[in-house]
Homo-oligomer: A and B are copies of this chain.
Amino acid sequence: MLNKDTRILIVGLGLMGGSYAKALKRQGYVVGAITRSQETIDYALANGLIDSGSTVPSQEAVGSYDLVVFALYPHVFLQWIADYQKFIKPGALLTDVTGVKGSVVYRVQEMLRPDLEFVAAHPMAGREVYGVRNADCGIFKGANYIVTPTKTNTEDAIRKVELLGETLGFARISRLSPERHDEMIGFLSQLTHCIAVALMTCKDVEHMSAYTGDSFRDLTRIAKINDEMWSELFLLNRDELLSQIDMFTGKMDELRAAIADGDTETLRELMRLSSRRRTFFDK
Contact = CB atoms under 8 A, between A and B. Distances in A.
Interface stretch (A36-44, A89-97, A195-203): A195-203
Interface in A118-155: 124-126, 143-144, 146
A227 B271 contact: yes
A245 to B, nearest CB: 5
A278 B225 CA distance: 10
Contacts of A211: 124, 144, 146, 174, 176, 181, 184-185, 188
A217 to B, nearest CB: 6
Interface stretch (A6-14, A63-71, A104-112, A248-256): A248-256
A269 to B, nearest CB: 8
A275 B238 contact: no
| Among A172, A174, A251: residue with most chain B CB under 10 A | A251
Contact of A206 (B210, B269, B280): B280
Contact of A218 (B201, B221, B268, B272): B221
What 3 A-B pairs come out closest when comparing CB atoms? A227-B271, A202-B251, A124-B213
16 contacts: A143-B214, A144-B211, A185-B211, A188-B216, A192-B199, A194-B259, A202-B251, A219-B222, A221-B278, A224-B275, A224-B278, A235-B259, A242-B256, A242-B260, A245-B256, A249-B253
